[in-house]
């Protein structure tokens, strides 16, 4: 979002979210919300503005509360279902599909390290429709782990000072999770209301694609924090938990949804705008055998990625409550991606030169690929997904090669 534009008030209306009760209902509502979000996705990406009612409709659907444990009133859907929900939404609007990712991760931090009282308080907020956003990462440091934001004790109480970047969903949030190091150098996660004194959300996010994720800057200046609102997030990475794989699974789900959207947009564009190659001997670009072949290859590999995503989710479900240190170390061991996976997609050769024009809005998904994949750590995502899926399930790399190179489908889309 450009810093010069006016920012709508996204938290002016009290939330009133529907409560989803099952995995099946979550998938069904995800498809309904995707159908609602998809028609205006390209226009929103071009303008960089999301109307408040769109964000409210999304969060009030109940999808933002589906991971909350049943004992606290949630549906506690499986990780595989959560990944599918994120992919479905991301295929409709890649930016809005990315916004709840950190929301889910923050709720997972609360589940892992929060007290029973903290869980009840924050889970009830999420179930009622409150949106959580992150203020975790920082810019300017030598590495992503170079955190300068500090939590200190003063005569007036706990205070946080620092500057955060890549704070996805911050403009839309009712609450922000601010990561800071305490006086012992340990990572603490402080949950603060969006309008807390000392907290400033800057509307300065501007990039190619994913323009409406609101991933800009958050400034914290002597920000007061109640001790009750602190979560010792350092414990999630100091002891065996699936906090890291959970974050990577949800990130991979966004990428899978964007890939599916890009493929669907490509098929639509080729049928509507692309011209056939002069020597192809066909009337329509969609009838070119080489084009059909490339679409088939992309479709097969996206299908393989979706299958791996589902398998990875099932592994997280299996070890969610029973993770030994031995298994944890196994999941963290090195894994090498099979060579059959393509290094990059081949979208533009299928689109042709016209696809770079601003009037061709459906192809905005390809710019979302560029931004979304660069925002995530590709090496880390591949490592965690590979470890989680191939090692823990026995889904071997040899089998993965057979899936990615041997899957053949009836690609009859161009005849529709």
Helix (H) or strand (E) holding 360: none
Residue 298 CA to residue 118 CA, distance in Å, equals: 45
Interior/surface letters 185-222, b for 16+ CB within 10 angstroms, e for the rest = eebbbbbbebebeebebbbebeeebbbbbbbbbbebee
pLDDT for the residue 166: 93
User: What does DSSP assign to residue 265?
Assistant: H
Residue 98 CA to residue 259 CA, distance in Å, equals: 13
pLDDT for the residue 331: 63
Residue pair 242/320 in contact (Cβ under 8 Å)? The answer is yes
Top CATH class of 23-237 equals mainly beta
Q: What is the DSSP string of 286-328?
A: GG-HHHHHHHHHHHHHHHHHHHHHHHHHHHHHHHSS---HHHH
Q: Would you say the C-alpha torsion 405, 409, 415, 416 has a positive or negative sign?
A: negative
Question: Which pTM value belongs to this model?
Answer: 0.82
Helices (H), 51-206: 52-60, 79-92, 94-113, 116-128
**Fold observed for domain 240-320+364-382:** Butyryl-CoA Dehydrogenase, subunit A; domain 3 (1.20.140)
pLDDT for the residue 101: 96
pLDDT for the residue 54: 97
Region(s) of the chain under CATH 2.40.110.10:
23-237
pLDDT for the residue 354: 47
pLDDT for the residue 385: 43
pLDDT for the residue 312: 92
pLDDT for the residue 410: 36
pLDDT for the residue 349: 56
Determine the straight-line distance between the first and last CA of the chain, rounded to whole angstroms.
Answer: 37
266-268-269 Cα angle (round to 5): 65
pLDDT for the residue 92: 96
pLDDT-flagged residues of the chain (< 50):
1-4, 335-343, 353-356, 359, 362-363, 374, 377-416
User: What does DSSP assign to residue 73?
Assistant: T
Q: Using alpha carbons, select from 254, 262, 412 the residue that is nearest to residue 345.
A: 262
pLDDT for the residue 393: 37
Helix (H) or strand (E) holding 191: strand 187-193
Region(s) of the chain under CATH 1.20.140.10:
240-320+364-382
């Amino acid at each position: 979002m450009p810093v010069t534009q006016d920012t709508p008030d996204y938290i002016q209306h009290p939330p009133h979210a529907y409560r989803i009760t099952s995995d099946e209902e979550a998938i069904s509502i995800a498809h309904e919300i995707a159908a609602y979000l998809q028609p205006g996705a390209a226009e929103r990406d071009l303008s960089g503005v999301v109307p408040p009612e769109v964000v409210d409709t999304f969060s009030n659907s109940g999808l933002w509360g589906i991971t909350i444990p049943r004992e606290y009133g949630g549906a506690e859907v499986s990780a595989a279902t959560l990944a599918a929900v994120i992919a479905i939404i991301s295929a409709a609007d890649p930016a809005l599909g990315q916004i709840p990712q950190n929301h889910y991760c923050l709720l997972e931090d609360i589940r892992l390290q929060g007290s029973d009282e903290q869980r009840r308080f924050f889970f009830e907020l999420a179930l009622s429709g409150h949106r959580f956003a992150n203020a975790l990462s920082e810019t300017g440091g030598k590495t992503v782990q170079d955190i300068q934001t500090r939590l200190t004790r003063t005569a007036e109480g706990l205070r946080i000072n620092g500057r955060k970047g890549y704070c996805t969903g911050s403009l839309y949030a009712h609450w922000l999770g601010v990561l800071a190091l305490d006086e012992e150098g340990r990572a603490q996660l402080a949950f603060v209301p969006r309008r807390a004194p000392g907290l400033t959300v800057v509307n300065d996010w501007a990039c190619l694609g994913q323009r409406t994720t609101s991933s800009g800057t958050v400034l914290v200046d002597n920000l007061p924090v109640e001790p009750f609102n602190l979560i010792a997030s350092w414990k999630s990475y100091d002891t065996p938990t699936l906090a890291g794989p959970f974050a990577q699974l949800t990130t991979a789900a966004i990428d899978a949804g964007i890939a599916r959207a890009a493929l669907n947009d490509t098929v639509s564009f080729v049928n509507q705008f692309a011209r056939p190659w002069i020597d192809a001997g066909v009337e329509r670009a969609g009838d070119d055998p080489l084009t059909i072949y490339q679409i088939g290859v992309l479709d097969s590999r996206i299908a393989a990625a979706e299958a791996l995503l589902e398998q990875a989710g099932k592994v997280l479900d299996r070890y969610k409550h029973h993770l030994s240190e031995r298994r944890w170390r196994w999941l963290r061991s090195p894994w090498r991606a099979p060579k059959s996976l393509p290094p990059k997609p081949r979208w533009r050769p299928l689109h042709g030169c016209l696809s770079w024009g601003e009037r061709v809005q459906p192809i905005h998904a390809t710019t979302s690929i560029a931004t979304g994949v660069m925002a995530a750590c590709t090496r880390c995502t591949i490592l965690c997904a590979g470890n989680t899926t191939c090692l823990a399930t026995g889904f071997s790399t040899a089998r993965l090669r057979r899936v990615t190179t041997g899957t053949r489908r009836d690609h009859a889309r161009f005849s529709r």
